[in-house]
Structure 1
Amino acid sequence: MKPIRNSAKAVIVQEGQLLLIRLKDQYGDAFVFPGGGQEKGEELKDAVARECLEEIGQAVDVGELLHIREYIGANHEFAKWDADIHQVEFYFACSLINPKASVFEGSNPDDHQVAVEWVSLEALKDIRLYPKTIGELLVNKGESRIYLGDLN
């Protein structure tokens, strides 16, 4: 079994839209939050800032911690190939240093990454977003939970 991995994610909302990474897999398009694995000796806030540069090609101001989500692969739809994955994800409110940025080309994009896109909060229910629950919390704004547990 692999060790538990920490991952830092950016929640970037601007003018009613959420900045997401579009991936292409065998099921079609999927969307995920920018971010990725924390490196040894790196603070989570530094990890999310570095990952944003790598994946979206933009510097961000890292704000407050919004959510903590666990992903235990054996419990989810991708268990066939993710069964040995256990990841703890930390979602931070972030803002673009250059809010008028229109080019999003990272230096080290994710595997299967095909684009970086703004998606309206209202359209989140219509796309394959991982984790879906965080999109729902952003839209509903009424519920404020930090620790979300193992969910999709």
Structure 2
Amino acid sequence: MKPIRNSGKAIIIQDEKILLTVNKDDDGLFYLCPGGGQEHSESLRQAVIRECLEEIGEEVEVQDLVCIREYIGRNYIDGDPGMHQVEFFFECNLVSPNPTFEHVSVPDDHQVGVEWVELSRLDEIRFYPSELGVRLKNKDKSKRYLGDIN
């Protein structure tokens, strides 16, 4: 059994659009907030900054914690049964006023790009976790712990 892993994620919103990584699997495109696994001796904020540099090629300024989600792989049809990840989603701002997203150094395995997506379209695309998309679209900040949701 694998240990529980922490993951720091960035919620970057500008002009009613959210910046997401574009990923591809056998079912087509899916979208995620940039971010990833926390390394030993690294704070969650440091993890978010490092992961954003790797996945979107831009530095971010990490703000407040928006919510926490658990991913328990055995609860999903195609999930990794040994995976248990606690994801911390932080509101972030891009440091550069003119980001290019051209310096992606370590994209995730399925990552094929970076895209600004209108918040109003989050229910039209395959965005994970979908409950976070609903909350962002509706500007709902009522609860911080989302639990194990898809």
Measured against the shorter chain, the TM-score band is over 0.9
Report what 1:50 is aligned to: 50
Structure 2: gaps of 5 or more residues: none
Could you say which residue in structure 1 is the equivalent of 2:82?
84
The answer to whether the Cα contact below 8 Å between 2:63 and 2:90 also exists between their aligned partners in 1 is yes
Deviations 1:102-146 (A, max 9, x none): 334311111011000000001111100011111111111134211
Q: 2-side partners of 1:143 and 1:94: how far apart?
A: 15
Shift of 1:27: 0.4
Match for residue 25 of structure 1?
25
Aligned equivalents of 1:103, 1:50: Cα separation in 2: 14
Residue pair 1:7, 1:87 contacting (<8 A) in 2 also? yes
- What residue number does 1:39 align with? 39
TM-score, normalised on structure 1?
0.95
Supply the distance in 1 between the matched residues of 2:103 and 2:122 (Cα, whole angstroms): 22
The C-alpha deviation readout for 1:24-71, integer Å capped at 9, x for no partner, is: 100000001100000011000000000000100000000000000000
CA contact (8 A) 1:104 1:116 kept: no
Q: Mean alpha-carbon deviation: is it higher for 70-79 or for 3-12?
A: 70-79
The counterpart of 2:113, out of the listed 112, 115, 127, is 115
Which of 33-42 and 93-102 deviates more? 93-102
User: 1:96, 1:68 → 2: CA distance?
Assistant: 21
Residues 23 and 112 of structure 1 are in contact (CA less than 8 Å); yes or no, is this contact kept in structure 2?
A: yes
RMSD: 1.0
Contact 1:5–1:88 (8 Å) recurs in 2: yes
Count matched residues: 150
Note closer, same or farther for the CA distance 1:143–1:93 as it changes in structure 2 (3 Å cut): closer
- The percentage of aligned residue pairs carrying the same residue is 54
For 1:76 and 1:148, the matched residues in 2 are separated by: 16
Q: Normalised by the size of structure 2, how large is the TM-score?
A: 0.96
Question: Secondary structure of 1:125's partner?
Answer: coil
Structure with the largest fraction of helix: 1
